[in-house]
Each structure stands twice: as C-alpha cells, then as structure tokens.
Structure 1
C-alpha cells in the first residue's frame, strides 16, 4: 500500500481544545486514511541546521507555548516511537549523503501532537518527529523529503506540519479572511495543482503578498510544504482537502500529495 504525504496546517495550539470545521476535518481525515504503521512529521517548531530525528521509546509532550488556558498544559500525547522507522530513515539519509543526528528526551512539539491528537486520538501509532532547516533552499528541503519517498510504500504517513500563511503580527479579531492571505493561498494552490515546483521554489519573489504571508521571521512554517511535496516526488499529484482561516489570515489548510 502506498500512502499519500500531507501538508497540515497546525494553526494555534488552541486547536487541541477547539471543536470547529477544521478540527472535525482532521478527525475525519484520520478515520478516512488507511491506518499507517508509523507516522513521520517534519515540524515547523524544530528548526535546526542539522537533520534531527526523535528516537524516544515513548514520546513526551512538549508544551512549547505560553499564556494559554491551564487545560492546554494538562494535555498529553504519549505515542510510542519507532526504532525500525528511525533505522530506515538513517539508511535513506545515508544513501542521500545527508548528515543527521538522533535526539532523545525532547518530546513532540505542538506542531506534531496538536494535529495528531485530532487525527489519531488514541496515540497508539508510532511517531518519529523530524526537524526542518529554514536556512536551506526550497530545492534542498524538497530533496530531503524525496529521500524518504520509499517509506510511503511501506505504510508510513509523512506529514509536513506548518502554515502557508502564518504571520502572528498581522492577526486580527475578525472571521473575514484578509484578501491578501486568500490571494497568496490561491497562488500556491495553482502552482501545487500543476506541480510547478520552479515557481514554488521562488515563491518569495513570485507569489503575491509573499512578505506578509511568509515573513522573514516565520519561514519555518512555510517550508514543511517542500518536505511533504518531496516525499511524493515519484507521484506528482496535489489535492487541497481543506481551506479556512482564523483571525483574519491564519491559514488552516491541508494538502494531500500522491494518490
């Protein structure tokens, strides 16, 4: 069985407690997809120059945010790790001449567990978290994802967790989407659906409102898209499964890559 790869927006950590159209979509998505043997997540909240992989026997839960309700800090997502998946990733990274390091004791950050506790609430599927590197070029990020494409045929679900429009300084108390955010998302959508990776790699120069949508201090939220796309490099298909907005321009979207 070959699973798709996914780009999933993780929005605000409050998604963990919310019941809305997006959280219900994520719950349904977990039920509709074939049950994976393991899940690998490239998270925007682990931005490091080296490629890192989590190797805990049981994953801890990071509460890497502040100022939220007490209930947020009581949530746990104790999914097991996967030594066998880590071993496969090591071999694939070595074949691609990509240096890597393993990390234990960190736990899953909210870019991982907030979406997974909606998709797979029983926390019984092994999870390995991977770092991203916002200093790399989009083509390099895509290439790292492509190193893992074989895993999709081994019933591993590969997810890039971030946000296509994620500029916390421009959020507003409104339910009406900002036109500039919608225009940026639609530009990305057209390029994804036609797999125009050259344009996407140059999004910062070609996309409308790129500076607002992907500010220099928030690039790490956009780039998980390239890791997820790369994982479907042998099956270049893209389908948008969900699109909505919170707080004017916080884009909540999910893209599926591959058939």
Structure 2
C-alpha cells in the first residue's frame, strides 16, 4: 500500500526547476482561530495520531525552521488584511513530516508551517494563497497536504469508490481550468461537486488545496499522479512549471 505514492514523492524534487530555498507547508492537521505561522528555529515533532505501532512515536524529521520566512509569510498575510498569528512551539505533524521525509530525507531544507483558519472558508483560504504567491518567485516551495477524499467511515468500503472517484474528477476539472477565476469559483463552490459531503464530511483535508490554488495565480494545475488505497483514489496535483 502507498508504494506508488512513496515513489512519486521521492521523485518530486527532480521535477522542480531548482532546489527550494525553503518550504511552506499547509497541513490539514493544523487549524487555529487565525492563520498561524510556525516560527520555531528547530521545530519539534507532533505525533497527532493514536493506536499506531510504538516506533511511529519515535520518528524524527529534524529539518530546521526558517524564522525569516515565517516573518515574510506573516507580513504578506497581514498586508492583505488577513488576521495572522504566530506559534513558536508548533512542530511537524504527520501531514508534514511524512511527505517531506520522502522528498527530502536528509531534512536539509528549512520548513515553515501555516495553519488553516477555523471555519474553513474556501474563498478566504484562496485569498491567503493569493497573498502568498510572491513566495514562489522567491524560491519557496508551497505544499498543501491533505486528501481528495477524507471520510473516516468510508475508507475501505466498496460504496466509497464511486463517490471518491466522482469527487476527485470534479477537483481535477477545477484545477485544470485555463482560467484562474473559473478554477477558483469551482473550488469555492466545491460542495456542488458530486458526493462532496460524502467525500469530505469535514473539509480540513480539502482546504489546503485552496491555499495552493490561490498561490498558483494564472498557472493551470494538473494531476501529478493518482494512487489508490483503502478503495479510494488519492490524487496529487501540481501548479507551475516543472522540470522536464
């Protein structure tokens, strides 16, 4: 399980035009009353799960933080009229350390995390992404960590497969729109997608996509790959120019 996902994430750095100076990660596992940015120089670990084997509570991903990038993120968001706070204690949750340990196993690229804002307003998260768009020209890789299907009661059930496939197809159409305005409109109105609330009873794992799409500007998105696990598709999307 997840063998293709692991291989695809390991290959991702070679697709990038250049090595990122730092990474800004938006995980579905962190929300706060305001958008909140991590400022720790040495972020700790957040083992935000339970019932897993003992060794999973000893995983370490010792990537450094980037206080200067955190300050830049905070400035961009506040300058756009968005409320933003900072957290010096926040560590890497599994939505961050799992993909990054595959992409950069040496943990040598600085990482800053940005929370979701409670309430999950899709338009507001797109607006946050738009505010952060200048970072892409400053050598910062922006990663949204979530899932195209996240219904804990539906994983592994045969009846979940068509629901997950139909909603992923809607998201794929949305991110593939040539017009950024059309793309963003489809994402704001994601509940119009087939089976939307069955796929996401709570949209914490969907909203990171809104931030990344907002930061993409006029760049058209595309499906990088679609893996399958627990009878549902797990799609990864990318925006911007990738290496040949």
- So what's the TM-score if we normalise by structure 1? 0.86
How far apart, CA to CA, are the structure 2 residues paired with 1:68 and 1:173?
21
Residue equivalent to 2:190:
203
Q: Is the 8 A contact 2:228 2:234 kept in 1?
A: yes
Moved beyond 3 Å, runs of 4+: none
Shift of 1:136: 4.1
Residue equivalent to 1:212:
198
- So what's the TM-score if we normalise by structure 2? 0.91
> Secondary structure, in 3 states, of the residue corresponding to 1:98?
coil
Q: Is the 8 A contact 1:59 1:79 kept in 2?
A: yes
Is the aligned partner of 1:161 residue 2:145?
yes
Residue equivalent to 1:257:
239
Shift of 1:180: 1.8
> Secondary structure, in 3 states, of the residue corresponding to 1:68?
coil
Shift of 1:185: 0.5
How far apart, CA to CA, are the structure 1 residues paired with 2:11 and 2:109?
17
> Secondary structure, in 3 states, of the residue corresponding to 2:212?
helix
Shift of 1:19: 6.2
Structure 1 portions without partners, runs of 5+? 1-17
Is the aligned partner of 1:108 residue 2:92?
yes
The equivalent position to 1:122 in structure 2, one of 106, 119, 130, is: 106
How far apart, CA to CA, are the structure 2 residues paired with 1:256 and 1:199?
17
How far apart, CA to CA, are the structure 1 residues paired with 2:211 and 2:23?
14
How far apart, CA to CA, are the structure 2 residues paired with 1:165 and 1:65?
18
How far apart, CA to CA, are the structure 2 residues paired with 1:39 and 1:170?
32
Correspondence 1:30-69 to 2 at 5 A: 30-33=13-16, 34-69=18-53
Q: How many residues align?
A: 236
